[in-house]
Amino acid sequence: MTDERKLLLLGLLRQTEMHGYLLNEHLDGFAPLTLKKPTAYNLLDRMQRDGWVEGREEATGERTRTVYSLTEKGENEFLRLLREQVPEYVPNESPALVSIGFLDALTPSEALALLERRREAAQAFRRSLGDSADDPHAHAGSGYLPVEYARRLADLDIEFLGEVVAHIEHGKDEKA
Amino acid sequence: MTDERKLLLLGLLRQTEMHGYLLNEHLDGFAPLTLKKPTAYNLLDRMQRDGWVEGREEATGERTRTVYSLTEKGENEFLRLLREQVPEYVPNESPALVSIGFLDALTPSEALALLERRREAAQAFRRSLGDSADDPHAHAGSGYLPVEYARRLADLDIEFLGEVVAHIEHGKDEKA
DNA sequence: TATAACATGTAACAAGTTACATGATTTC
DNA sequence: GAAATCATGTAACTTGTTACATGTTATA
């Protein structure tokens, strides 16, 4: 999945040049994938060696930070990766669904109790994504699409959990 | 994500004992996560060493295969993993959305052409999942939940792509 | 009898994370 | 002046994949 991460870094640097620390703050928040600090710094190094980005040393007193910006080669690679990735459909994996598939190993009441906790966690996560209206990363028109997608996905999860709960409650009734 | 993979193997073996090859055929088809052959065989080895599963040698002529079944300890671990994973909400990552976030780097017409190819691929994938009605892995009542979830997820992707397309077409009109 | 499917692995590799290290600056 | 935050890494580790190896049985 290196390609997606590279595209992400290139895309962000393409919009505004940045130093690694700032980049990492962005990534923590709204990125559609995990990209931890060491990984980001490492990728920046490699992309600099490959000539995709260039680092300009910026000194504030004793402290220096490296501000990265896209080179022309980087712009080309960005477009190449983009044209490669957009037309490809790679369905998300959903490891979290494995456990849901085995709920029938539990008693209905225990399953319901555990599902309720999952649903609350999902709702809390959904709230943390905010509404389309007050999106801090909103682009012109439609908001930052990956965040909007994350909202939809969380909504789907909550709805799906609700249906699973309903189904178990129904089965419970039948047996009573 | 080892825990999800372990739970998956344990849960499948709990339903019916199986040898590795058969297990892998199941996994290729409808598992909510990737689990390649060497990984599966390796996990089976480790779980056998840990006493979670036991392997019974079954010979057909010269060929032997190892049929794995849950031990009591394995059953306990299965339940422990299940009780751990059900209440936890871990949102899916969506690396495939990175590229969608940078569509504005392309001309509207190129973006639309690339999106159309992605949408076709998504629709083909959706068709491969079949309908709830003729689910070959259907459980009593509601079908195998991870597969049903995969259908919803694919539907969401297709719908979302449609909206992105519509939005770009709209923007194009405005500029015309 | 050659090819595909069955059945099980090994070994090298790639990718990303965790935990840790280091020093500067700002804030309480 | 202690703690938090800024800023950038290194090194070891975990995890999972790829490519390959090996021998068996069914199928064309």
Confidence band (pLDDT; 50, 70, 90) for B140? very low
Sign for the pseudo-dihedral over CA of B154, B158, B163, B169: positive
For B59-116, the pLDDT digits (tens) are 888 889 999 999 999 999 999 999 999 999 999 999 999 999 999 999 999 999 999 9
DSSP B90-145: -PPP-TTHHHHTTGGGS-HHHHHHHHHHHHHHHHHHHHHT--STT-TTPPTTT--H
Evaluate if residue B139 carries a pLDDT over 70: no
Residue reference for tokens 């109790």: A113
For B156-166, the pLDDT digits (tens) are 999 999 999 99
Q: What is the dihedral of CA A70, A76, A79, A80, to 10 degrees?
A: -130
* A chain contacts of residue B117, beta-carbon cutoff 8 Å: 86-87
Percentage of the residues of chain B whose pLDDT score is greater than 70 = 92
CB A44 within 8 A of CB A53: yes
DSSP B156-168: HHHHHHHHHHHHH
* A chain contacts of residue B83, beta-carbon cutoff 8 Å: 106, 110, 114
Q: Do A149 and B139 touch (CB under 8 A)?
A: no
pTM reported for the whole predicted model: 0.92
> What pLDDT is stored for residue B175 in this prediction?
54
Count of other CB atoms within 10 angstroms of residue A95: 23
> What pLDDT is stored for residue A46 in this prediction?
96
Residue A12 backbone dihedrals phi, psi, to 5 degrees? -70, -45
The answer to whether B101 faces chain A, any CB pair under 8 Å, is yes
- By C-alpha distance, which of A36, A6, A169 is closest to B95? A6
Cα(B55)–Cα(B17) distance, integer angstroms: 10
Give the nearest nucleotide to A24, CA to C1'.
D7
Q: Which residues contact B126 (CB under 8 A, 6 or more apart)?
A: B151, B154, B155, B158
In angstroms, the separation between the Cα of residue A79 and the nearest Cα of chain B is 8
Q: What is the dihedral of CA B139, B140, B146, B149, to 10 degrees?
A: 130
Find the mean pLDDT for residues A28-49. Answer: 95
Task: Please report, rounded to whole angstroms, the spatial distance between the CA atom of protein residue B11 and the C1' atom of nucleotide D24.
Answer: 30
Evaluate if residue A175 carries a pLDDT over 80: no
The residue that minimises its CA distance to C1' of C17 is: A36
Q: What is the dihedral of CA B171, B100, A100, B43, to 10 degrees?
A: 170
Q: Do B146 and A33 touch (CB under 8 A)?
A: no
Q: What one-character DSSP code corresponds to residue A138?
A: P
Range with the poorest average pLDDT among A1-5, A7-11, A134-138, B141-145: A134-138
For A121-163, the pLDDT digits (tens) are 999 999 999 987 765 554 444 578 999 999 999 999 999 999 9
> What pLDDT is stored for residue A62 in this prediction?
86
What mean pLDDT is reported for chain B? 92
Find the mean pLDDT for residues A27-43. Answer: 94
CB A82 within 8 A of CB A44: no
Q: Which residues contact A135 (CB under 8 A, 6 or more apart)?
A: A143, A144, A147, A148
Evaluate if residue A32 carries a pLDDT over 70: yes
Range with the poorest average pLDDT among A84-93, B30-39, B140-149: B140-149
> What pLDDT is stored for residue A139 in this prediction?
43
Nucleotides of C under 7 A from a protein CB: 6-11, 14-19, 23-26
